[in-house]
Amino acid sequence: MAPSAVPYQQGWPQPRELDHENLLQVTEEFAAASRRAFDAGFKVLEAHFAHGYLLHQFLSPLSNRRTDEFGGSLENRARFPLMVIRAMRAAWPAHLPLFVRLSVVDWADGGLDLDESLTLASWLKEAGVDLVDCSSGSVVPKEKIPLSPGYHAPFARQIRERTGMATGVVGLIFDPTLASALIQDGSADFIFLARAMLRDPYWPRTAAAVLQATNDIDIPTQYRWALERSL
């Protein structure tokens, strides 16, 4: 299922366009998943508006070719994702944070851009979202992504400064010094790690040693010498 019956690229399956009844059903499924997450003991919830997943597909004019009230203008393209967020916020306790991972830009001509994402971030804030986790791309195959460590940080800074929304940043952040600098210079409130943690599950302790902050984290006494002494 998708906003429009448009395959990702030639040779891929053609999805079925969601009708209004489907949209209501999917919205309720997101709300039900939110309730299950709370019942399971989770304390933070994140909705995925990025990387070609369904809600990103609605936001991007590259994948959303609809001509009804859920397609065309940004307001229309955001209508269904905002329905989902409001349903999730209603199902998720008010005192617990709700995040959105957002592909801020599509890195392709005619796609979602920073100006639209700034407007969307304001709408998300009004809908009860607490933080935008800034990523990008992955909705069309021919993207031109300028990869470099922390390359989403300028997007996170713009959203943070211009909307007042808390932000997180992800993207080739392996170096603890870079991670710390992005927090210190006001680019973001949080650093999100994926491959860095898969490669090194002890990355937070490694980072604490690099940043000389081992006293700030809870480390078993038996482990401290391994982090604080080089010999």
The pLDDT tens digits of the residues spanning 56-106 come to 999 999 999 999 999 999 999 999 999 999 999 999 999 999 999 999 999
pLDDT digits (tens, 9 = 90+) for 1-39: 999 999 999 999 999 999 999 999 999 999 999 999 999
What are the two backbone dihedrals, phi and then psi, of residue 190, each rounded to the nearest 5 degrees? Answer: -140, 150
pLDDT digits (tens, 9 = 90+) for 41-59: 999 999 999 999 999 999 9
pLDDT grade for 230, boundaries at 50, 70 and 90: low
pLDDT of res. 226: 76
CB atoms within 10 A of CB 172: 15
Q: Respond yes or no: is residue 8 known to be catalytic.
A: no
Structure-block tokens of residue 8 = 């990702």
Over residues 189-225, the pLDDT tens digits come to 999 999 999 999 989 988 988 999 888 888 788 877 7
Tell me the average pLDDT of the chain: 95
> What angle do helix axes 20-39 and 79-91 make, rounded to 10 degrees?
30
For 209, how many CA atoms within 13 A lie in the half-sphere containing its CB? 13
pLDDT tens digits for range 101-132: 999 999 999 999 999 999 999 999 999 999 99
- Judged against a pLDDT cut of 90, whether residue 158 lies above it is answered with yes
Catalytic residue among 8, 53, 151, 223: 53
**What per-residue confidence (pLDDT) applies to 214?**
82
What pLDDT, on the 0 to 100 scale, is given for residue 229?
67
